[in-house]
Amino acid sequence: MNPSRSSYQSLFQFLLVTIFFISLGGESGWAQTRHLSSRSAVVADERLAVLRAAPQFYAPFLRRIGRGRIVTLLEAQRSSDGAVFYRVAVTRRTRGWLQREAVVVPSRAGDDARLLALIKASRDFDRLARARIFLDVFPRSSLRAAVLLLFGDEAEKTAAKLSREALRRLDPIEMSATEASLASYFLNYSGLDRYRKQGIIFTFDDTTHQFQYDGTVWRELLREPGTRY
């Protein structure tokens, strides 16, 4: 029996829905790095990521570009005061000029070291977010092990901090009035949200009522060539 027309339509609709949800998975900043090309750059320092209409600091403001956003390099130009700007494409219709120091370019020598210096100078969530960018943008860098170590140390500090915050903000009386488990309140704690978006997972220990970092980067660090343990 040949497949009916409705069967083909159902299959086609299923494929469209599947493609749609796969595309959603790449919307967050660092997740997009799988699509990097030789002309790609990634915003690592959002404080400097102002898109301007011309390669000058006093040029009209167009928009601010978020950390982790991928842009396409079109050309470079030095301003009258010596700063280097990249003309970039943010979308098909949005183009403008970004200060060079706002982005890292995977194909440019030394940008991994520059980003590592920024990571070392960063704290808390900023350190984790910038380290996440490094790990996605520079998969073969000789500095990767150093970044993994910084990432893991900061994630463990963050687990302790989040534990203290959650204990202060979650009301034991309110939690005991429902059928939901204590662990479920902690694992749904809103303070975890921005870390989840960075792919950072914290587990919960029912005995100590503490979050724990799941150790993903420690396992990767042990696989790095030359790592001693």
Query: Where in the chain do CATH 2.30.30.170 domains reside?
Result: 33-104
In the numeric block, which tokens belong to residue 45? Answer: 């320092």
- One digit per residue, the tens of pLDDT, for the chain of length 229 reads 455 554 445 444 444 433 333 333 333 344 444 567 778 999 999 999 999 999 999 999 999 999 999 999 999 999 988 999 999 999 999 999 999 999 999 989 999 999 999 999 999 999 999 999 999 999 999 999 999 999 999 999 999 999 999 999 998 888 888 889 989 999 999 999 999 999 999 999 999 999 999 999 999 988 876 655 4
Identify the H or E element spanning 21.
helix 5-24
pLDDT for the residue 1: 46
Q: Half-sphere exposure of 157 toward its Cβ, with a 13 Å CA cutoff?
A: 11
pLDDT for the residue 34: 53
pLDDT for the residue 227: 57
Distance CA 186, CA 163 (A): 9
pLDDT for the residue 66: 96
Distance CA 199, CA 123 (A): 18
Closest among 81, 73, 76 to 56, alpha carbons compared: 81
In the numeric block, which tokens belong to residue 122? Answer: 């960063």
The separation between the first and the last C-alpha atoms of the chain, rounded to the nearest angstrom, is 62
Residues 6+ apart with CB under 8 A from 41: 70, 71, 72, 73, 86, 88, 98, 103, 104, 105
- How many CB atoms sit inside 10 A of residue 162's CB? 19
Is the separation of the CB atoms in 113 and 144 below 8 Å? no
Q: Looking at the domain that runs over 33-104, which CATH code has it been given? A: 2.30.30.170
Strands (E) across the chain are located at 40-43, 50-52, 61-64, 70-78, 84-89, 95-99, 103-104, 202-205, 210-213
pLDDT for the residue 176: 86
